[in-house]
Copies of this chain bind each other. A is one copy, B any other.
């Protein structure tokens, strides 16, 4: 699958954005999101609640601990979710790509902050209306639960990574995991756009920016990858896989 510009994951129009009259039924990320659980009539209900929200790079979707007034479905761009300690240390919990849902937990406040890494477009739903829909549609709740369970499993994976992996293994796991997600969204298998900074990657993997940079350099020296503008090109993904098997 060819992509003209590897730096941008172009996901065709989603939910009702800046195109008046467009519906969730046309949403190009629907198949990979919680919305996949809904039938036509339910989608209609959802579409009525949806508004488009655009964020420029570095914009805050919401801060940690804020009242949870919305749930979101990312349709374009990359979002980082994070928690910070009082002294400023930051842990990035994850990077959200098109199709990813924010607000699965249905808690009164957000347990983490969220910021746009690149320019982001999202489908946004008011919480009260969304909750009402969930209450009316057990199947949607079931789907939310499955999504939350999946996220819990990913969180557990990440605990293993943070607690028991070396710097090299961490970066290898990060790159392969991101590649797989991008492939599912129709991206290239060898060229990964990296919207996030080295600092973001470091804060996700429990490393410093210098260690991330040095590890990238080592991978380049070992002919495992090339660094290209705004991303990397994988030369030897098998070698990365091997690091994880070990």
Residue of B nearest to A202 (CB): B163
How many chain copies does the complex carry? 2
Q: Given the complex of chains A and B, what is the CA–CA distance between A177 and B126 in angstroms?
A: 34
The answer to whether B153 touches A105 (Cβ under 8 A) is: yes
Residue-wise interface mask of A (125-163) relative to B, using a CB-CB cutoff of 8 A (1 in contact, 0 not) = 000000000000010011011101101110111111011
Contacts of A164 in B (CB 8 A): 85, 89-91, 206
Docked-complex contact B91 and A152, CB < 8 angstroms: no
Interface centre among A89, A106, A148 (most CB of B within 10 A): A148
User: Which B residues lie within 8 Å of A245 (CB)?
Assistant: 86
Q: Is the CB of A159 within 8 A of B148?
A: no
A contact residues, range: 35 or more
Given A90-B164, A141-B141, A148-B148, 19 extra CB contacts under 8 A = A83-B156, A86-B245, A87-B246, A91-B164, A93-B156, A104-B152, A105-B152, A107-B149, A107-B153, A111-B156, A112-B156, A138-B141, A141-B145, A145-B145, A145-B148, A151-B152, A152-B152, A155-B159, A162-B162
